[in-house]
Structure 1
Amino acid sequence: MSTPPNLIHAYRHLLRAGLRAVQFSQPSRSTITARLREGFRDPRGTFDAERVRRTVWFLNAAAQQRGLEHKILKNLCRVHWDRMRELRRMPWRVRVRSELEGKGKGGKKRVRDDVIKGTEFEHYERTIAMLNDSMQLCLR
């Protein structure tokens, strides 16, 4: 399956602008590349050239001066890095257990002890979604 050239160009423009915006610093650099790969490999994802163009403008503005755009990008990278680090620290048995949604013996579902677990970042993700909708961006 071949990839359309405009998709490749969009990926490269976003990667270049993102790396310039974080000044190639190590934790942010790996975060930017990971999120970008994840977004472009998503089979449910849609491609909107206008949103990509606006996102590149946003990243270029973040690279030029330490204003609001820079702070937003810095916080996005920090939150993603912390979430991935927390997942890496979690033992594989705990991850599998949480994915199975706590089934107990005999196939009965166990009641979760912590109702907040799994919803910690819900408000954060909604805020990013509203920012994307209002500014026509494609930040993750």
Structure 2
Amino acid sequence: MASTLPTKTDILTSYRHLLRAALRAVHYAHPQRFVVRDVMREAFRDAKAIGTYDRKRIRNTIFFLNTAAREAGLETDILKNLVRVAWERRNLRGRRDWHVLMKEKEMEGRKKKNLLPDPIKGREYEHYERTIAMLNDMMELCLR
């Protein structure tokens, strides 16, 4: 359960501890450290996340990140995948693949009102996010 509302000092201390542990876990590697920094900033600027502040989850997450930094095991693999997906999501936001452009050219001559909406559009990461949420609940972590 979430404890009482945290003070500003608690939030800053937690941010610094988590960021330091995450940077150690990715070994300060060039693209990963910036992704970790951006994800952490986004998480701590989110007002909803601050309302769910839980010291136990933060402590467990720091322990998880320290283990990932110390050993090349399951924790490292999970962290690598989290960072890679976050990086891909950020870099593919504005990019359009060639097959999307070809499909648009093909559809120019057709009536667009007869087309059904794409059922996958906007739901690409739904299963991934549910998996991360289950991992967080099971291990009492606060990964994103």
Displacement after TM superposition at 1:89 (Å): 2.5
Equivalent residues in 2 for 1:73-84, closer than 5 Å: 73-84=79-90
Match of 1:56 among 62, 87, 103: 62
- 1:26-64: CA deviation from partner (whole Å, max 9, x where unpaired): 111111111111110001112111100000000000000
Displacement after TM superposition at 1:111 (Å): 6.9
- 1:64-87: CA deviation from partner (whole Å, max 9, x where unpaired): 011000000000000110111101
Aligned twin of 1:27: 31
Q: Quick one: which amino acid aligns to residue 77 of structure 1? A: V
Structure 2 residue 138 is the aligned partner of structure 1 residue 138: no
Normalised by the length of structure 1, the TM-score is 0.81
Q: Quick one: which amino acid aligns to residue 73 of structure 2? A: G
CA-based RMSD:
1.7
Runs of 4+ aligned residues of structure 1 deviating over 3 Å after TM superposition are: 109-112
Equivalent residues in 2 for 1:1-140, closer than 5 Å: 4-45=8-49, 46-89=52-95, 113-140=117-144
Gaps of 5+ in 1: 91-108
- 1:94-124: CA deviation from partner (whole Å, max 9, x where unpaired): xxxxxxxxxxxxxxx9975311111111000
Normalised by the length of structure 2, the TM-score is 0.78
Q: Distance in 2 between matches of 1:33 and 1:126?
A: 23
Q: Quick one: which amino acid aligns to residue 131 of structure 2? A: T
Q: Distance in 2 between matches of 1:56 and 1:48?
A: 13
